[in-house]
Amino acid sequence: MASGNGTNFEALVHACRSGALNGRVERLVVNNPGCGAAQRAERLGIRCHTLDHRLQPSREALDRALSESFQDAQVDLVVMAGWMRIVTPVLIAAYPDRLVNIHPSLLPSFRGVDAVGQALAAGVRLAGCTVHLVCEAVDSGRILIQAAVPVLDGDDRASLAARIQVQEHRILPLGVGIAAQRLRDRTAAGAARWRPADPPSG
């Protein structure tokens, strides 16, 4: 899922194609027709589905359409790679512990919009980014991986955001891999708890 330029989306595609991430990007969904992410999908040969939020009657309706799109593609994990919309319980319930987001701060600090601006305003010397699972409270789900980025003298939003983005491209595939492993472990544990009855002897 992407709303803007799509650099994190492309980083995921390259990680999968290089073998760094054991997976495959099945589909990109964008909410802004013609955005940079959609153009990247075309160049990379990834199927792109546009769901313009302005044409949906509610956030819940948008999330139902998103869920249907992902179910149609039979995806295992959903990644919010620069999705600039708050998702509702509709999508979260459809993909529990399978909805991954990247946020440009060291959570739990600076949740919500303009995290980079928040960090600069607070005067912190260390910023960064976080890959986490999505829950109903914004930017509050289980943290999967983080990367720290120093705040330099003279930094503004653009310069700090650019250095944070370099780390986003590095840790997003790692975070997706961690989420996938957690899903595999949970599936294996469930299978281990259920065993068919032994056949009768003799």
DSSP of 49-100, one letter per residue? Answer: EE--GGGSSSHHHHHHHHHHHHHHHT-S-EEESS--S---HHHHHHSTT-EE
Res 22: pLDDT: 94
Q: What pLDDT score does 186 carry?
A: 85
Segment 112-126 mean pLDDT: 98
Least confident of 122-131, 165-174, 189-198: 189-198
Residue 83 in this model has a pLDDT that exceeds 50: yes
> Quick check: is 132 catalytic?
no
Spans of all domains in the chain: 1-95, 101-188
Does residue 198 surpass a pLDDT of 60? no
Rounded average pLDDT over 150-162? 98
Q: Strand 99-103 relative to strand 126-133: parallel, antiparallel, unpaired?
A: antiparallel
3-state secondary structure of 199: coil
1-95 belongs to CATH 3.30.1360.100:
no
State residue 202's pLDDT score.
46
- For residue 164, give every residue at least 6 positions away whose Cβ sits within 8 Å of its Cβ, in sequence order, or none: 104, 116, 127, 128, 129, 149
Q: Which of 49, 53, 103, 132 is catalytic?
A: 103
Q: Residue 94's closest CA among 109, 107, 75, 108?
A: 75
CATH number of 101-188: 3.40.50.170
CA proximity to 6, closest of 36, 34, 31, 51: 36
The pLDDT assigned to 194 comes to 59
Q: Do domains 1-95 and 101-188 have the same CATH topology?
A: yes
Average pLDDT in the chain: 94
pLDDT of residue 109: 98
Given the DSSP bridges, would you call strands 143-150 and 126-133 parallel, antiparallel or unpaired? antiparallel
Residue 81 has pLDDT above 70, yes or no: yes
Does residue 199 have a pLDDT over 60? no
Average pLDDT over residues 8-18: 98
Question: Is the preceding omega at residue 104 within 30 degrees of 0, hence cis?
Answer: no
Query: Stretch 45-52: mean pLDDT, rounded?
Result: 96
Whether the predicted pLDDT of 201 surpasses 60: no
| Token pair belonging to 18 | 């290089």
Asked if the model's pLDDT at residue 28 lies above 80, the reply is: yes
**What average pLDDT does the segment 117-131 reach?**
98
For the segment 126-136, the average pLDDT, to the nearest whole number, is 97
Choose the weakest-confidence range: 17-21, 151-155, 187-191: 187-191
91 strand-pairing partners: none
Mean pLDDT of 25-49: 96
**From residue 177, how far is each of 20, 157, 183, 200 by CA, in Å?**
9, 29, 10, 42
CA gap 184, 146 in Å, rounded: 22
Predicted TM-score of the model (pTM): 0.91
Asked whether 23 and 4 are in contact (CB, 8 A), the reply is no
Residue type, 62: L
